[in-house]
């Protein structure tokens, strides 16, 4: 069966520090991968998506970047965090055969920039 791992669960970082959030998927190959951000009490904002290794599409211009060094690994990064980067970050994969669009989410990372 497929599983998705996202870590860390919580993170407190000072302004100006770098960021690296990692997401890995098991039990499937060539998934579509997504990073979403959820502000408090708000919906999910799509940040990045990837349809293959090294293929990254950005939905919003911002202080963050994403990389996909391996088929089932998706990394969200920042060189210098801003206060406004605080939020709940969710990684998801999609691509189960015959069920297009059904997304499976990691447990999320609560990032607080102080």
Instruction: Answer yes or no whether residue 46 interacts with another protein by CB under 8 A.
Output: yes
Residue placing its CB nearer to another protein in the complex, 15 or 60: 60
Asked if 40 interacts with another protein (CB under 8 A), we say no
6 Cβ contact list (under 8 Å, min separation 6): 21, 22, 23, 90, 91, 106, 107, 108, 109
Q: Which of 13, 22, 73, 110 binds another protein (CB under 8 A)?
A: 110
Which region among 11-19, 62-70, 72-80, 98-106 touches another protein (by CB under 8 A)?
98-106
Contact pick of 11, 44, 53, 56 for another protein (by CB under 8 A): 44
Span near another protein by CB under 8 A; candidates 14-22, 67-75, 79-87, 90-98:
90-98
CB 66 within 8 Å of CB 57: no
């Amino acid at each position: 069966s497929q599983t998705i791992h996202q870590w860390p669960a919580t993170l407190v970082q000072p302004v100006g520090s770098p960021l690296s959030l990692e997401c890995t998927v098991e039990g499937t190959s060539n998934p579509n991968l997504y990073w979403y951000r959820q502000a408090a009490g708000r919906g999910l904002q799509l940040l990045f998506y990837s349809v293959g290794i090294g293929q990254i599409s950005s939905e919003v211009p911002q202080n963050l970047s994403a990389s996909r060094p391996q088929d089932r690994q998706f990394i969200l990064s920042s060189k210098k965090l801003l206060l406004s980067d605080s939020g709940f970050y969710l990684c998801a994969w999609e691509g189960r055969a015959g069920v297009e669009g059904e997304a499976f989410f990691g447990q999320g990372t609560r990032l607080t920039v102080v």
